[in-house]
């Protein structure tokens, strides 16, 4: 894996225009205190569209992410619809999942798609050597995934097998999925129960080529990308966005090599480059840090480390701007989220972890950053959707709960395909611990597809609230929405108390012509701005 090398983060984090007076030290806010921080929104100076795919989900053959988490089979005692868990399916529909990435992840480069088609009782059993060494009966394959996406109304992102596959295998999979001809592969799809071709929205050539995808150099992978991409042919009206496997963390050499050496030609193209970054409280892959029971120092380090993603986006997209000023090529953060130590007694290959208020605050910080760079960051996929890492949903056999991260994603639904608005934060906005400093308040604003104005606010400080003055070139007299917060830093939901932490209604009216919002400590707030 990779390690982090933190450096002091001293920028004020805000969407669009970044401005702020960083004052060292702060104090607890009381009702009598004057406004300390202001948030200014420019409604007339609209920015980029926030692609709904920024809210993409990731599902890999890993632990209980798919089997039990999504798929239980038609004969299961767990209530299901054609093998899919009813409770999970309903929760994901409520989340309005815009995009699903499958089958990996590291698993993708050992996955051979023909193992997952045809009658389930005749599919081969294979060993998942990447995650836990468990046997996979391949009951969940191409048809099951594509059907699941259709049930959710989600676009699909399929990761092709570069590591152990061939150009022929990858091209054949795309033909099986998309061809409307009378070819053998298209007719095989029809024989397996699907007459019409599926729409494939995104397709990646390999995953983490620098590591589990083949331990390659950027130069070697770039040549392989061009080789494979040349043969990925689909009907003109069903051409997926092609994604190259990029770097991770602070790496830029993958972006540089790909941008310099993959020209757009009649036979081959590159529409996006992926990038991965996981947040570890410690920054140390030998000991990540605990999911629960942490202190303020660990809270701060987690926020500090997650905010580094903005630097990684800025440095990589600057390289892209040099070679692609028209911004044709996207920068996709298609794996991100928290990665904690495995719970004691659990299979270390299953990556199951609890999800607390800390994860919710972290999710809001990341989403606000992705909004800020929406011109290039047109997709992200949190890892992962169910039962793995920073999940939306956790299950225990027939039981299910929604995590704090789920609630944040649901609160942020109005930002899907919304038009971003420049925003600046001024005044006192520092959270200092020891010799490190991060912005206390993060914000993002947008006009939704329905024409409504929305504002998202995150307070990264675990014990101090803020009074925020909302300023705009348009009059707003009140707000309504939701707030997610709790007393404990590690507040979370359990199977015995699944509703322990969930959003509450939030309202505020202007007084004497001033709209001032109370932003609780360690909170995420999403509101509609009203005249």
pLDDT in tens, 237-248: 999 999 999 999
pTM: 0.93
Report the candidate in 147, 278, 307 with the shortest Cα–Cα distance to residue 208: 278
254: alpha, beta or left? (left if phi > 0; alpha if psi -120 to 50): alpha
State the Cα–Cα distance between residues 502 and 484, nearest whole angstrom.
Answer: 6
| pLDDT tens, per residue, the chain with 531 residues | 333 333 333 333 343 333 332 222 333 334 434 788 999 999 999 999 999 999 999 999 999 999 999 999 999 999 999 999 999 999 999 999 999 999 999 999 999 999 999 999 999 999 999 999 999 999 999 999 999 999 999 999 999 999 999 999 999 999 999 999 999 999 999 999 999 999 999 999 999 999 999 999 999 999 999 999 999 999 999 999 999 999 999 999 999 999 999 988 777 899 999 999 999 999 999 999 999 999 999 999 999 999 999 999 999 999 999 999 999 999 999 999 999 998 778 899 999 999 999 999 999 999 999 999 999 999 999 999 999 999 999 999 999 999 999 999 999 999 999 999 999 999 999 999 999 999 999 999 999 999 999 999 999 999 999 999 999 999 999 999 999 999 999 999 999 999 999 999 999 999 999 999 999 999 999 999 999
- On the CB side of 337, how many CA atoms lie within 13 Å of its CA? 30
In 402-509, where does DSSP find H-type helix? Answer: 404-411
CA angle 310, 481, 48 (to 5 degrees): 40
Report the alpha-carbon distance of residue 133 to residue 126 in Å, rounded: 10
Q: Which domains does the chain have, with CATH numbers?
A: 37-47+420-530 (2.60.40.1180), 52-417 (3.20.20.80)
Contact 160, 103 (CB under 8 A): no
Cα–chain-centroid distance for residue 49? Answer: 17
Nearest to 267 by CA among 296, 235, 230: 230
Which phi and psi (to 5°) does residue 52 adopt? -60, -25
- Of the candidates 380, 384, 382, 376, the one whose C-alpha atom is nearest the C-alpha of residue 333 is 380
Structure tokens at 102: 């499958």
Question: In this structure, are residues 424 and 14 in contact, taking their beta carbons and an 8 Å threshold?
Answer: yes
- The answer to whether 101 and 154 are in contact (CB under 8 A) is no
The model's pLDDT over 83-125, given as tens digits with 9 standing for 90+, comes to 999 999 999 999 999 999 999 999 999 999 999 999 999 999 9
The whole-number pLDDT of residue 311 equals: 98
- Give the active site residues: 208, 335
Nearest to 27 by CA among 296, 428, 299: 428
Give the helix/strand (H/E) hosting 196: none
- Residue 21 neighbours by CB distance under 10 Å: 12
For the chain, the average pLDDT equals 93
- pLDDT tens column, 471-508: 999 999 999 999 999 999 999 999 999 999 999 999 99
Give the Cα separation of 465 and 468 in Å (integer): 10
> What pLDDT score was predicted for residue 112?
98
Instruction: Report pLDDT for 28.
Output: 38
**Tokens for 210?**
């620098």
Tokens representing 447 are 């006009």
Nearest-angstrom CA–CA distance, 134 and 2: 25
Quickly tell me which residue has 């798919």 as its tokens.
66
């Amino acid at each position: 894996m990779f390690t982090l090398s933190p450096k002091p983060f001293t920028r004020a984090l805000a969407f669009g225009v970044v401005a702020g007076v960083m004052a060292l030290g702060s104090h607890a806010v009381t009702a009598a205190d004057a406004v300390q921080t202001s948030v200014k929104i420019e409604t007339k100076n609209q920015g980029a569209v926030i692609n709904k795919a920024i809210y993409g989900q990731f599902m890999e053959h890993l632990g209980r992410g798919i089997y039990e988490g999504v798929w239980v089979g038609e004969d299961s005692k767990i209530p299901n619809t054609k093998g899919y868990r009813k409770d999970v399916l309903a929760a994901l529909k409520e989340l309005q999942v815009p995009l699903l990435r499958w089958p990996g992840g590291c698993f993708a480069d050992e996955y051979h798609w023909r193992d997952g088609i045809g009658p389930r009782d005749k599919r081969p059993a294979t060993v998942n050597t990447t995650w836990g060494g468990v046997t996979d009966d391949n009951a969940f394959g191409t048809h099951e995934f594509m059907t699941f996406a259709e049930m959710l109304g989600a676009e699909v992102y399929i990761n092709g097998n570069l590591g152990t596959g061939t150009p022929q295998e990858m091209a054949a999979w795309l033909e099986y999925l998309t061809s409307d001809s009378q070819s053998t592969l298209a007719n095989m799809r029809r024989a397996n129960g699907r007459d019409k071709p599926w729409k494939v929205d995104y397709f990646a050539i390999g995953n983490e080529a620098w590591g589990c995808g083949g331990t390659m150099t950027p130069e070697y992978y770039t040549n392989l990308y061009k080789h494979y991409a040349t043969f990925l042919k689909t009907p003109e009206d069903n051409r997926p966005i092609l994604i190259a496997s990029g770097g991770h963390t602070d790496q830029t050499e993958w972006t540089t090599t790909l941008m310099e050496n993959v020209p757009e030609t009649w036979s081959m193209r590159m529409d996006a480059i992926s990038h991965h970054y996981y947040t570890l409280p410690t920054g140390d892959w030998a000991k990540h840090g605990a999911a629960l029971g942490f202190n303020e120092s660990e809270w701060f380090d987690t926020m500090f480390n997650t905010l580094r993603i903005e630097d990684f986006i800025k440095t990589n997209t600057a390289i892209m701007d040099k070679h692609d000023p028209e911004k044709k090529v996207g920068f996709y953060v298609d794996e991100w989220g928290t990665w904690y130590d495995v719970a004691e007694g659990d299979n270390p290959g299953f990556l199951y972890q609890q999800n607390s208020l800390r994860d919710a605050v972290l999710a809001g910080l990341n989403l606000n950053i992705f909004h800020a760079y929406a011109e290039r960051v047109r997709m992200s996929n949190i890892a992962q959707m169910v039962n793995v890492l920073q999940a939306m949903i956790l299950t225990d056999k027939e039981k299910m709960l929604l995590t704090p991260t789920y609630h944040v994603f649901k609160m942020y639904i109005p930002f899907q395909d919304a038009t971003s608005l420049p925003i600046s934060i001024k005044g006192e906005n520092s959270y200092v611990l020891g010799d490190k400093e991060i912005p206390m308040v993060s914000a993002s604003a947008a006009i939704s597809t329905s024409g409504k104005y929305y504002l998202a606010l995150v307070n990264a400080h675990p014990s101090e609230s803020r009074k925020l003055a909302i300023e705009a070139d348009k009059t707003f007299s009140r707000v309504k929405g939701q707030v997610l917060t709790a007393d404990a830093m590690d507040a979370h939901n359990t199977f015995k108390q699944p509703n322990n932490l969930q959003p509450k209604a939030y309202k505020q009216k202007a007084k004497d012509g001033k709209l001032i919002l109370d932003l609780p400590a360690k909170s995420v707030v999403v509101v509609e701005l009203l005249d």
